[in-house]
Amino acid sequence: MHLAHVRYPWPDKGHFLYYLALILTYGPKKLMRIGTIGIIATSAIFLAACDLRPETLRVTMPSLPIDQDIANDMVEMLDDTSGVHLEMVSQPHSEAEALDALASGTADIALVSNAMPYRDGVATVIPMYPTVLHVAYRVGRDASSGLSLLQDARIFAGAKDSPSRRIFERIATRLDLSENDFEYVTDVESQADIVILFTPISPERVREFPDLRLFSFGTPSDIGSGSVVDAATLLSPYLRPFVIPAGTYGTITPEPTLTLAVDKYLVARQGLAPSVVYDLIEELLRLRPALAAKHPGMLGHLNGDFDVSRSAFVLHTGTQNYLRRKEPSMYERYSGIAEVSITVLIALISATVAGFRILQRRRKNRIDRFYAKTIALRDLVTPGSTEDERRKAIADIRELQNEAYAQLVDEKLSADESFRIFIQLSDDALQQLGAHGIDRRTSDA
């Protein structure tokens, strides 16, 4: 999993302030140096995060060649200068398999028809291009009606469960055609009388079949007049009327052809970070002229905003943010890194506080040693002790005081209450030794 999307718990505010207070109150020079190193290290982590390589998204390879070409062009155009990279999953996927890959997390984005059924874990990113229903028939067939056109025909309608096959099955049901009234075939060129496909507008590909003509469901003026196209869009909201202009496919379309279209959507797994989806949309719209030049209709109907109200899937949060122009904040883009940095910082603070406590304990042990020696030297001198013994005890106590001040300068002892108690104890011991008959001024001499 990418580091930028790993989530870590934020530290408790009270603990943070407590550690900060300890450092500000007790931090000697060494401790402050450790804290400075920790802050520099954390800042370096965060600055490095801001310079991470662009997010790489896994895109499923479509099963249809024309969709594969579009997907490959997207991968190629989103190069090192782009904010998002695409990586093609090598094995071709049907649209159902692509949705399975997104739901399972083995892929990040896919191109699927808006006619596909709703799936949990899949969210809409952006409409890419219309896939247009092409109903083509061999020259010479009776095209006066849909029934006469399809009766006893050999039909190529794409793979089973494809949008083309499903729309044809609905047409056949409305015309009361049974499977005995037609025959499915798999070879377009040599076997098919009728070709039914949802495919992007592709003049070069369709011109490969000059003996075909496109069937029209009416004229452009029939849209909105209660025609069969209006009925189809009413019963299947993902469909929309579409007019193929005359001459688009040369002699195959001598007149405008009224048909239906289903948008091909770019969809993503729902858990993909909103900031990544936001950046992906911006990159695709930036590349719109180049993509449209190679694939007519590609992102052609999109401007700064786009309509996703007919989407078969829920809208991705990143898409919602884009439509509302809610650009990701610095935290949203680098939240994972920021949280890692804070976690590292708190770990450093905790380690520093632990080290500080160990240092305090060691200093306490050192000052306890001075206590013990001072008391032992004081107790060695009794009323029966000789003057030399008293002088030696005084000298040893003064030596302890000098050693304590030297360690204080070297930061091996702290100028705290424990040190003040030692000085008071040692001064009291010297006064007691002087009360036994040794003048302190004389001993200093």
Binned average pLDDT, 10 residues per bin, the chain of 445 residues:
40 48 49 56 52 77 87 87 84 88 93 89 91 87 83 85 81 83 80 84 70 87 90 86 89 88 92 92 88 80 73 91 71 59 78 74 74 83 81 85 82 77 83 60 45
Return the sign of the alpha-carbon dihedral for residues 44, 45, 46, 48: positive
CB neighbourhood size of 287 (10 A): 17
Q: Which residues, other chains included, contact 320 with Cβ-Cβ below 8 Å and sequence gap of 6+?
A: 326
CA 127 to chain centre: 21
| Alpha carbons within 13 A on the beta-carbon side of 404 | 28
pLDDT value, residue 436: 46
Tell me how far CA of residue 413 lies from CA of 22, 362, 405, 418, in angstroms.
17, 9, 8, 9
Buried b (16+ CB within 10 A) or exposed e, 83-94: ebebebbeeebb
Domain range summary for the chain, segments of one domain joined by + = 55-333, 361-444
Distance CA 312, CA 117 (A): 7
Cβ contact 99:122 at 8 Å: yes
Beta-sheet strands, E only, within 256-344:
257-269, 314-315
Q: How far apart are CA 382 and CA 401, in angstroms?
A: 22
SS3 267: strand
Name the 3-class secondary structure at 276.
helix
Question: What pLDDT shows up at residue 41?
Answer: 57
Question: Cα–Cα distances in Å, from 219 out to 95, 164, 167, 223, 235?
Answer: 32, 22, 20, 8, 20
Residue labelled with tokens 């247009």? 132
Q: Which CATH number fits domain 55-333: 3.40.190.10, 3.40.50.1970, 3.90.1150.10, 3.90.1720.10?
A: 3.40.190.10
Of 302, 126, 298, nearest in space to 201 by CA:
298
Distances (CA, A) of 102 to 213, 267, 337: 38, 9, 25
> Tell me, what's the pLDDT at 257?
92
- What is the CA 269 to chain-centroid distance, rounded? 11
Q: At what angle do helices 13-26 and 335-380 cross, to 10 degrees?
A: 40
Torsion of CA 12, 13, 14, 20, to 10 degrees: 110
